[in-house]
Amino acid sequence: MSVAQAARPPRPAGLQNPYSRLPDWFYPANVVFWLGLFSLYGILVTFFDFTPAHFGPYLSPFDSPEVAGRVLPPALWVVWVPFGFRLTCYYYRKAYFRGFLWHPRSCAATEPARGTYWGETRFWIFNNLHRFAMYVTVVQLAILWLDMVNSFWYRGHIHFGLGTALMLVNVVCLSAYTFGCHAFRHLVGGNRDCLSCYRLQYRLWKGVTVLNVNHTIWAWVSMFTVWATDLYIRLLSHGLIPHGLWS
C-alpha cells in the first residue's frame, strides 16, 4: 500500500450507490439465493433422477434430446450444453463474480484480501470459449423448438395444455436469451470495422443489439422458464401432480 493510500481514512461502512435505490447487498444476495437454488435443483435432476421428464407430448428442456438407455440419468447427456453456455455467458460472469466470488461484491466495496487476482487470464481463461458453447446451444435450441411444436399434437389430435404453454414460453425466452448473446452479436456483424459495407450484417447486428441490451433480463427470465417447465413436466412424469387430460 502506498503512503498516499495509507493516508486515507477508512471507507464508510454503509456504502450507498446513488445510482441504485437498493442496498448494496441486494444484488449479490439475490444471485446467491436464486442461482444457488437453481444450481442445486439442476444437480439433483442431473445426477439423481433416472426417470425422463417426458409425459404425454411434453418433454423437459433438461432431458431433450432424449438419449436411449437408462444407464445414466437422462439429463446428464444434455445439461452440459446450457451449463457451459451460462457459465461462460458475459452476463452470468458478472453475476457469479459478484455474488459468489466477491470480485467485487458491489462497486467500490472493499474486497476481502485473498491471493493475487488474475481475472480471466488463468483459471477463468476458458470464458473466452463462450462462442463454442453458443454454437452448441443454438443446435439444442432448434431441438427445443421441435419439441414445442410436437407438444401441440397428441394421439392424433391437436393438444394444448399447461405444459404446451410452458414449453412455448420457454423456447421464446430461451431464444431471446440465446440470440442476444454477446458472442452472437460479434459473430453476426460486430466483428466488422465497416458496418455500412455489409448491409445484411449491419441489420442483423442492430437486431441482436435490441435483444442484447436486455440480456440480463432474458438470462434470468429464461432460467425461471426452464425451471418451471422442467418442474411441471417432471412432477407429471413422476405422477406427483394430477393431469386429468389423459391416462
Partner 1 sequence: MADRTVKLSIFRGDPGGGDMVTYEVPTQEGMVVLDAVLWVQSHRAPDLAVRWNCKAAKCGSCSAEIDGFPRLMCKSPIDEYGDEISVRPMHTFPLIRDLVTDVSWNYEVNKRIQPFTPSEADLADPQPWRMQQEDVDRVIEFRKCIECFLCQDVCHVLRSHGQKDAFFGPRFMIRIASLEMHPKDAADRRPLLRGEAGVGMCNITKCCTEVCPEHIHITDNGIIPMKERMADLYFDPLRFVAGKLMRGRE
Binding site for partner 1 (CB under 8 A): 2-5, 7-9, 11-12, 15-20, 90, 93-94, 97-98, 103-104, 107-108, 110-111, 116-121, 124-125, 128-131, 182-183, 185-186, 190-191, 193-197, 202, 212-213, 215
Is the bond leading into 74 cis (omega within 30 degrees of zero)?
A: no
DSSP 22: S
> Would you give the distance in Å from CA 5 to the centre of its chain?
40
Beta carbon of residue 193, minimum distance to partner 1 (angstroms, whole number) = 5
Cβ nearer to partner 1, comparing 12 with 156: 12
Cβ nearer to partner 1, comparing 86 with 215: 215
> Would you give the distance in Å from CA 96 to the centre of its chain?
12
Cβ nearer to partner 1, comparing 83 with 90: 90
Beta carbon of residue 238, minimum distance to partner 1 (angstroms, whole number) = 39
CA terminus-to-terminus distance, the chain: 71
Cβ nearer to partner 1, comparing 64 with 212: 212
* Grid cell listed for 174: 430461451
Beta carbon of residue 20, minimum distance to partner 1 (angstroms, whole number) = 8
Cβ nearer to partner 1, comparing 13 with 158: 13
DSSP 51: S
Beta carbon of residue 120, minimum distance to partner 1 (angstroms, whole number) = 5
Helix, strand or coil, per DSSP, at residue 121: coil
Beta carbon of residue 211, minimum distance to partner 1 (angstroms, whole number) = 12
Residue 28 contacts residue 106 (beta carbons within 8 Å): yes
Distance CA 70, CA 67 (A): 9
What is the number of helices (H) and of strands (E) in the chain?
10, 4
Cβ nearer to partner 1, comparing 50 with 118: 118
Q: Phi-psi category of 114—alpha, beta or left, where left has phi over 0 and alpha has psi -120 to 50?
A: beta
Question: 116: number of CA atoms within 13 Å, CB side?
Answer: 5
Beta carbon of residue 100, minimum distance to partner 1 (angstroms, whole number) = 12
